[in-house]
Amino acid sequence: MRPVSVLRLWRRPGPRRAAVPEGPARRYGSHAPPGPDPARAHFTTPIFYVNAAPHIGHLYSALLADALCRRRRLLGPGAAARLSTGTDEHGLKIQQAAAAAGLAPLELCDRVSAQFRQLFRAAGVSATGFTRTTEPRHRAAVQHFWGALQSRGLLRKGLYEGWYCASDECFLPEAKVTRQPGPSGEPSPVSVESGHPVSWTKEENYIFRLSQFREPLRQWLRGDPRAITPEPFYQAVLQWLEEDLPDLSVSRRSNHLHWGIPVPGDESQTIYVWLDALVNYLTVIGYPDAEFESWWPATSHIIGKDILKFHAIYWPALLLGAGLSPPRRIYVHSHWTVCGQKMSKSVGNVVDPGACLERYTVDGFRYFLLRQGVPNWDCDYYDEKVVKLLDSELADALGGLLNRCTASRINPSGTYPAFCAPCFPREPGLAGPAARAQAEDYALVHAVSALPQQVAHYYDNFQIYKALEEVSSCVRQTNGFVQRHTPWKLNWESPGDAPWLGTVLHVALECLRVFGTLLQPVTPDLADKLLSRLGISTTERGLGELCFLPRFYGHACPFEGRKLGPETGLLFPRLDQSRSRLVKAHRT
């Protein structure tokens, strides 16, 4: 069969829709397929190998996707969002791991897949779909996808020869292979990038005409510079497209690799595990049934940097080959190291995420990973860092602030007090005799007013850590505000003090309401506890209508005069109890 022209590959068969919204899918010019509903967003994590138990790096991938998805859901009832995850269960790596453990491959898969599922449930990952590549629906999707490539003449049978790395499940060119002393001291070939052993493979396989896709991939990326974020990764992919782009072997001989999905119509070959795995992103939205089209390509992949080439070159090329659009966005993150070292079973420094969730609480550990993880570069994990961060930002700063504004000693009526406009006039220059607000107080109001927009900007740029840094800095500023005006020294009984005392508390509670609302995607339970304590109902927590301190801007405030929610104890108990004991001892 004659291969189709790559310029026509973006054209997707199927019914056209009447109204096609503007969006990334429209930027491909005249070859753009009809776009999906712009209100829909599908976030995906990579699907995880089941050769070993989950570690904190895996959880980090999932939490990034979860936070993006939860934030999206808070934008309003029209914003439908899905979050998909799963386990990658086929391939040589799993076949070998099962043999080494003396288990049937499916037994190993069942066991470890359940561990991932259990971890994500425990960590509050709000997944709407979980795909195991051993499921029949996935096998059907992969075989259908294979058929689409074949019918377009993009698969040929030929001799494929090269280095194969089973740990990374990829072929490597000679330049990416080096020699290192093996267990016996003899130099043995390993991957330059991962250090994992490689072996020479020579087989008759099916080969995907990847080399035809250099120009379409360039066009896709040039047309959408935000397709891969952060920017250095986008540049890296453009650079790869300048280099050699050989055709890709997409099957292995079944007698070598039996643990996988057979090539349709040729049982002597098993489909390459990466092609199999990547199709999970379609399986989970119902491919090949037409329903998948409302979620594709409205899909954003969250991936680690080690699997960028598979997602930013192979996958978009395969999609284009099958007549589909590339994904909307690819968000890339770096890795966690432990005490300065790469996490590995052989070094024995793998951090168990389940134990961390127990030790630091679910919300505490979510906050830590997302606050400290910087996608652009690797981050180092050690326990003391977690304790220090959570105690200072969640227990002392945020919890302390809530306590200061709601404790019965200072807020005896247990209400959201009234805001007194003359005490805190909108224009400091027009201040009358009742005015008590100072220049720093105006700086606080402006900072917290701008916060929702800033946070939105950071999420959009995959900088959740920066969004949290901004929130934390505003929490600090609010504590400074309270400290400056020492409400505990003001008297509710004094007509001179009471309006200002109410205003100080009102402003601080408004700040807390904004912080609680913005923290929901990262610390859902803690944010719920905070907002419930403030008496904010579940229908008042959306991001679409988040509006800070309306009274300052001359509008009505629905919370003013409202009863606070019940007291339910400390927002976030300190982890380092020794210090809190010391502080108490010092106070008494």
| Contact status: 304 vs ligand MSP (CB under 6 A) | yes
- In the complex with ligand MSP, the residue whose CB is nearer, 365 or 559, is 365
- In the complex with ligand MSP, the residue whose CB is nearer, 111 or 179, is 111
How many Cα atoms sit within 13 Å of 300 on the Cβ side? 29
Spatial distance between the Cα atoms of 467 and 454, rounded to a whole number of angstroms: 7
State the DSSP string of 78-112. T-EEEEEEEEE--SHHHHHHHHHHT--HHHHHHHH
- In the complex with ligand MSP, the residue whose CB is nearer, 277 or 526, is 277
Task: Return the axis-axis angle of helices 105-122 and 353-360, rounded to nearest 10°.
Answer: 20
Task: In angstroms, give the least distance from the CB of 333 to ligand MSP.
Answer: 7
Residue 262 identity: P
Q: Are 274 and 169 in contact (CB under 8 A)?
A: yes
- In the complex with ligand MSP, the residue whose CB is nearer, 304 or 521, is 304
- In the complex with ligand MSP, the residue whose CB is nearer, 260 or 535, is 260
**Token duo for residue 392:** 């200072």
Task: In angstroms, give the least distance from the CB of 144 to ligand MSP.
Answer: 17
Q: Which of 135, 193, 247, 306 binds ligand MSP (CB under 6 A)?
A: 306
| Contact status: 278 vs ligand MSP (CB under 6 A) | yes
- In the complex with ligand MSP, the residue whose CB is nearer, 31 or 335, is 335
Spatial distance between the Cα atoms of 293 and 475, rounded to a whole number of angstroms: 43
Q: Phi, psi at residue 269, to the nearest 5°?
A: -125, 145
Residues counted in the chain: 588
Q: Which residues, 463 to 522, sit near ligand MSP by CB under 6 A?
A: none
Other C-beta atoms within 10 Å of 22: how many?
A: 9
Task: In angstroms, give the least distance from the CB of 501 to ligand MSP.
Answer: 48
Task: In angstroms, give the least distance from the CB of 56 to ligand MSP.
Answer: 7
Task: In angstroms, give the least distance from the CB of 13 to ligand MSP.
Answer: 25
| Contact status: 260 vs ligand MSP (CB under 6 A) | no
| Contact status: 130 vs ligand MSP (CB under 6 A) | no
Q: Are 162 and 203 in contact (CB under 8 A)?
A: no
- In the complex with ligand MSP, the residue whose CB is nearer, 48 or 458, is 48
Residue 352-371 contact track with ligand MSP, rule CB under 6 A, x = bound: --------------------
Spatial distance between the Cα atoms of 514 and 447, rounded to a whole number of angstroms: 11
- In the complex with ligand MSP, the residue whose CB is nearer, 57 or 297, is 57
Task: In angstroms, give the least distance from the CB of 60 to ligand MSP.
Answer: 5
Spatial distance between the Cα atoms of 423 and 487, rounded to a whole number of angstroms: 14
Spatial distance between the Cα atoms of 125 and 116, rounded to a whole number of angstroms: 11
**Contacts (Cβ under 8 Å, ≥6 apart) of 29:** 223
Residue 83-112 contact track with ligand MSP, rule CB under 6 A, x = bound: -----x------------------------
| Contact status: 332 vs ligand MSP (CB under 6 A) | no
| Contact status: 343 vs ligand MSP (CB under 6 A) | yes
Of 548, 258, 554, 571, which Cα lies nearest the Cα of 407? Answer: 571
Q: Phi, psi at residue 282, to the nearest 5°?
A: -95, -40
- In the complex with ligand MSP, the residue whose CB is nearer, 48 or 292, is 48
| Contact status: 46 vs ligand MSP (CB under 6 A) | yes
- In the complex with ligand MSP, the residue whose CB is nearer, 208 or 424, is 208
Residue 47-86 contact track with ligand MSP, rule CB under 6 A, x = bound: xxx-------xx-xx-------------------------
Q: Are strands 266-271 and 251-253 parallel, antiparallel or unpaired?
A: antiparallel
Q: Which of 32, 303, 504, 530 binds ligand MSP (CB under 6 A)?
A: 303
| Order of all β-strands in the sheet with 248-249 | 170-172, 155-165, 199-208, 248-249
**Token duo for residue 460:** 């959009």
Region from 29-37, 45-53, 503-511, 517-525 binding ligand MSP, contact rule CB under 6 A? 45-53
Region from 43-51, 117-125, 359-367, 456-464 binding ligand MSP, contact rule CB under 6 A? 43-51
| Contact status: 451 vs ligand MSP (CB under 6 A) | no
Task: In angstroms, give the least distance from the CB of 332 to ligand MSP.
Answer: 9
**Contacts (Cβ under 8 Å, ≥6 apart) of 392:** none
| Contact status: 276 vs ligand MSP (CB under 6 A) | no
Task: In angstroms, give the least distance from the CB of 43 to ligand MSP.
Answer: 13
Region from 17-25, 41-49, 235-243, 390-398 binding ligand MSP, contact rule CB under 6 A? 41-49
**Binding-site size, ligand MSP (CB under 6 A):** 19
Spatial distance between the Cα atoms of 540 and 545, rounded to a whole number of angstroms: 8
H or E element in which residue 507 lies: helix 498-519
Please classify residue 306 by burial: count the beta carbons closer than 10 Å to its beta carbon, then call 0-12 exposed, 13-18 middle and 19+ buried.
middle
Q: Which of 253, 335, 562, 579 binds ligand MSP (CB under 6 A)?
A: 335
Residue 111 identity: R
Task: In angstroms, give the least distance from the CB of 418 to ligand MSP.
Answer: 49
Spatial distance between the Cα atoms of 461 and 407, rounded to a whole number of angstroms: 38
First to last CA, the chain: 86
Closest residue to ligand MSP in the complex (CB)? 304
Q: Which of 336, 368, 416, 459 binds ligand MSP (CB under 6 A)?
A: 336
- In the complex with ligand MSP, the residue whose CB is nearer, 280 or 415, is 280
Q: Are strands 329-333 and 299-304 parallel, antiparallel or unpaired?
A: parallel
Helix (H, G, I), strand (E, B) or coil at 254: coil
Task: In angstroms, give the least distance from the CB of 47 to ligand MSP.
Answer: 5
Q: Which of 263, 307, 390, 423 binds ligand MSP (CB under 6 A)?
A: 307
- In the complex with ligand MSP, the residue whose CB is nearer, 342 or 484, is 342
> What is the 8-class DSSP label of residue 135?
S
**Token duo for residue 27:** 């930027």
Task: In angstroms, give the least distance from the CB of 117 to ligand MSP.
Answer: 14
**Token duo for residue 232:** 């250095």
Task: In angstroms, give the least distance from the CB of 280 to ligand MSP.
Answer: 6
Give the binding site for ligand MSP (CB under 6 A). 46-49, 57-58, 60-61, 88, 277-278, 280, 303-304, 306-307, 335-336, 343
